[in-house]
Amino acid sequence: IKDRIGLRMIEAAEQRGDIKPGATLVEGTAGNTGIGLALVAQQKGYKLILVVPDKMSREKIFNLKAMGAEVMLTRSDVAKGHPDYYQDMAARIARETPGAYFINQFGNPDNPAAHEFGTGPEILRQMGEVGGLDAIVFGCGSSGTMTGLSRCFAGHSPHTELVLADPVGSILAEYINDGRLNDKSGTWMVEGIGEDFLPSISDFSRVSKAYAITDKESFLAARELLRAEGVLGGSSTGTLLAAALKYCREQTEPKNVLVFVCDTGNKYLSKQYNDYWMLDNGFLEREQYGDLRDLILRPYNRRDTVVVGPNDLLVTAYQRMKLYEISQLPVMDGERIIGILDESDVLLHVYGDEARFRDPVSTAMVSKLDILDVRAPVEALLPVFDRGHVAIVMDAERFLGLITRIDLLNWLRRRVQ
């Protein structure tokens, strides 16, 4: 949906004379506005600098860079007013860059105008064919979609109810439902919606209700949408869908309710559609045993553990490490673990003679293993990690899996949640 505002904000600035040929455009974005701007900037010959919070998916970053944008990552744990806050940082870069123009989607009236005169009439035309529109559920980041649609519907469909879907941690749901503007926001992992302040272009006067949706609800709703309907939506799509379902279940008569699929889930394959990421963050449930198995991310008995054999080539092991973004591999002889191979082992073996990549794994693996019984206390992991090793968890002679430092950190963080 952000390609609409990207085109509108750039062309309106051109018409006003705010952007000159060869100018540099600067914006702070969660990613999708940046993609919309990049689509236009590359066609018009503008350089584009985007400041993006570091919680955004790597797929978005790759997408933006592939489209020619210069991407600067900044902290996602600071609020507006902090010099590292993505919007403040973008504004500063624009001021300090000769010939730069700050798009400023959060304060740019051309943002809601794109929806008031474009998206809104399009929705009304389409919904008019199926009996009209009783309610629309939307998210709010810059507030452009909400404000523009609100203005459009005020004149052309005043009976349409406006419903906000907001991540838990954002201040907007509380503001809509209770009229309180909290000056302390929380954190959330859903991308592109939710705020810790009221954007200057926002108009919430016609929003009747808001639902605060947890990250877990959002991600699971998006995954269920894919399973049930074959629609691959992004993280905010899950938030909107979860809120829309709550709204619909509260109704006592049939209604036509519209909800946005804001962007494609292709940008989130490494996050909400990655079972390991979901497990790491506590968003998927897995059977708990009360022992070290609870810390193993990739259990061997489920064939989740990536392994190599002693006769596999080192180049094969290297390729598996790269593919699965892991640093170590158990070396298995049938169902028996006989060694461990990590990046350092490969490096030390091949350095000075790259032909050794063709050597078998057995020539570089470590066969002295740090083995822990599955019933060992969690504290037993610390000496293993202090030696720079990974823990190999066994139940008698049966290999269960590996535990790394990050596995322990993730387990500790989930306990806090």
Active site residues: 2, 236
Strand stretches in 30-188, DSSP E = 47-53, 70-74, 100-102, 135-138, 161-167
Residue 370 Cα distances to 44, 69, 80, 267, angstroms? 59, 46, 47, 38
* Length of the chain in terms of residues written: 417
Q: In this structure, is the dihedral angle defined by the CA atoms of residues 230, 231, 234 and 237, taken in order, positive or negative? A: negative
Q: Which residue has the tokens 């559920």?
A: 137
Give dist(CA 169, CA 186) in Å, integer.
4
Q: Among residues 390, 386, 412, 318, which one has the least CA distance to residue 356?
A: 318
Give dist(CA 404, CA 199) in Å, integer.
43
Residue 395 Cα distances to 34, 256, 286, angstroms? 50, 56, 19
String of b and e for 55-75 (b: at least 16 CB within 10 Å)?
A: bbbebbbebbeeeebebeebe
DSSP assignment letter at 116: I
One-letter amino acid of 173: A
Q: Which residue has the tokens 């503008």?
A: 46
Give dist(CA 122, CA 4) in Å, integer.
12
Q: Render 153-190 in DSSP notation, one character per residue.
A: HHHH-TTPEEEEEEEBTBSHHHHHHH----S-------
Radius of gyration of the chain (CA): 26
